[in-house]
Amino acid sequence: MKKNIFVKATLASLSLVLISAVGFDTAFGYGSSSTRRSSGSRSKVIKPLVIEAPVPQVLGAENFRFLVNLRKDVNSSDVKELQARLRKEGLFTFPTDTGYFGPVTFAAVKAYQTAHPSIGYINGFVGPLTRAELNK
């Protein structure tokens, strides 16, 4: 029920933005984007307001900060970044970065922990010490 109220409020807000940007007639299909005066001497062109969404920035494995613990059976964008990072080091060999922390990712994390003795353990779990090493 709360979701329906949110959807209705959002649609109402978007309608008001559309009406204020291009005018009621143009927003609802009555008329065209240009209006001619009856004298025919000049035409007034009404340009719709274009609001561009910010372009999302893709952070590469070098810029990504691992902030949460990761373990088997997790499916998230953090795991996808982890896989990209492990692939860069030659440890993750699955054909694509899936975002699913399965047996291949588990083995790659253990290999990473083995290659970085400062972590102090090899368990395939991306906890605070492994994250600290990944964030260097």
Question: 86 is written with which tokens?
Answer: 């492990």
- Three-state SS for 99? coil
pLDDT at 87 over 90: yes
Point out which residues pair with 100 in neighbouring strands.
75
∠ CA 113-131-66 to the nearest 5 degrees? 135
Distance CA 21, CA 82 (A): 43
**pTM confidence score:** 0.55
Q: Is the pLDDT of residue 37 over 70?
A: no
List 36's β-bridge partners, or say none. Answer: 43
Please report which confidence band the pLDDT of residue 45 belongs to, taking 50, 70 and 90 as the band edges.
confident
User: What SS3 state is found at 36?
Assistant: strand
Residue 130: per-residue pLDDT: 94
Per-residue model confidence (pLDDT) at position 136: 87
Q: Is the pLDDT of residue 90 over 90?
A: yes
Q: Indicate the pLDDT class of residue 35, thresholds 50, 70 and 90.
A: very low
Three-state DSSP class for residue 116: coil
> Is residue 17 very low, low, confident or very high in pLDDT (cuts 50, 70, 90)?
low
Find the DSSP H helices in 1-122: 2-22, 24-27, 77-88, 103-115
